[in-house]
Amino acid sequence: PSPLPSLIRKKRDGERLEDAEIRSFVHGVTEGTAQQGQIGAMLMAIRLRGMDAGETLALTRAMAASGRVLAWPPAWHGLVVDKHSTGGVGDKVSLALAPALAACGCKVPMISGRGLGHTGGTLDKLEAIPGFRVSQSPEEMCSILERVGCCIVGQSEALVPADRVLYGLRDVTATVDSVPLITGALGWGTSALPALPAVLIPTHCPSSCPLPCPPSRPVVEVGTQLGIRTVAVLSRMDQPLGRAVGNALEVLEALECLDGGGPPDLRQLVTTLGQRGDTGTGRDTGGHRRGRALDDGSALSTFEAMLGAQGVPPDTAHRLCSGTPAQRRQLLGNAKVCEELPA
């Protein structure tokens, strides 16, 4: 392939990149041979010029192949499910959905990210819990999934390392809303089994959505071409989800949802996605099963087990999941400065 400046110039001028050229770019990102300025320039060129379906597929494959591809035991066939990209302010869906799915028999390996733009990221929220460790090796992930049923981890040197670099640079280069980059970053490398259904939730609203259009179609098309059963669910993001915004506050609200309460819009989205997860896996477990897991305490117990498996001291995990709202707030800490703003 041509040197990286030539590839940047080619995409800048609206030309199509060949598969080998895209692989060369991702390889440079992964190996550290591409300078940050060059990576930022390529991201902006992709954002402004776009990518066709073939380029997007090649980018997604290159991103997935930048690290290890996880292989699941044959016994998990048809049980492994993932969720990506709810998005928006106040999004704490993953914190409630992963244990709810696991409580119903699914295996949920989530590779999540940090905040993009003005929204907090799933990893930032989980790290508000004392001791929670987002860095897990592939072997540790499989062990947690075997024992608990779900885990939420970050990108690493082993797992989609190219996305670990690009994720942060997209934030500082104003390229978060590029549909090809969104699609390529969805972490398809978390499965070596074609039966993995990825439940994707691209967001859309008529006014304040930062995306030019819902990216559901290219995402579903790429998932299908990769042999992954993919379901897209459109949800709104023109107002915050739930009532809490902020890392620790959103953990507290997710715990309310896992305890059978919480804001109705959060619960509705969690149960809807759980039902679509059954559709993706081809299982018929009933549309209300996810709601029962929230109400009967099984999802909360699974969340507590996940916390313990990912480094939270058992006593802290238990007190956080079984304590009163005041006790939970005390565990996570209060802001040093609080100001009440009357409506």
Residues 302-335: b if buried by 16+ CB within 10 A, e if exposed: bbbbbbbbbebeeebbebbbeeeeeebeebbeee
pLDDT of 188 reads: 55
Question: Residue 198's pLDDT is what?
Answer: 46
pLDDT value of residue 6: 95
Judged against a pLDDT cut of 60, whether residue 193 lies above it is answered with no
DSSP symbol at 337: S
Per-residue pLDDT band at 286 (split at 50, 70, 90):
very low
Over residues 25-48, mean pLDDT? 94
Give the integer Cα–Cα distance in Å for 84 and 230.
Answer: 11
pLDDT of residue 194: 38
Instruction: Flag whether pLDDT at 252 surpasses 80.
Output: yes
Percentage of the chain beyond pLDDT 70 is 86
Q: Which pLDDT score is estimated for 99?
A: 95
Section 146-166 average pLDDT: 85
The predicted structure's pLDDT at residue 204: 42
* Mean pLDDT of the 40-63 span: 93
Quote the pLDDT of residue 70.
78
Over residues 262-291, the mean pLDDT reads 73
Residue 273 has pLDDT above 60, yes or no: yes
Most confident of 6-15, 62-71, 163-172: 6-15
Of 21-25, 115-119, 337-341, the least confident: 115-119
Which of the four pLDDT bands, split at 50, 70 and 90, describes residue 278? low
**Mean predicted confidence (pLDDT) in 26-47:** 94
DSSP string, 162-173: HHHHHHHHHHHT
Greater pLDDT, 231 or 195: 231
pLDDT at position 154, please? 86
Averaged pLDDT for residues 35-59: 94
Please, what are the domains in the chain? 4-50 (1.20.970.10), 74-156+191-330 (3.40.1030.10)
Most confident region among 68-77, 155-164, 188-197, 281-290 by mean pLDDT: 68-77
Question: What is the pLDDT at residue 294?
Answer: 93
SS (H, E, C) 83-111: EECCCCCCCCHHHHHHHHHHHCCCEEEEE
User: Is the pLDDT reported for residue 58 higher than 80?
Assistant: yes
* Whether 11 contacts 58, CB under 8 Å: no
Average pLDDT over residues 194-201: 45
> What was the pLDDT predicted at 138?
85
Q: What pTM value is reported for the model?
A: 0.81
Mean residue pLDDT across the chain: 84
Residue 282, Cβ density class (10 Å: 0-12 exposed, 13-18 middle, ≥19 buried):
exposed
What is the structure's pLDDT at 282? 54
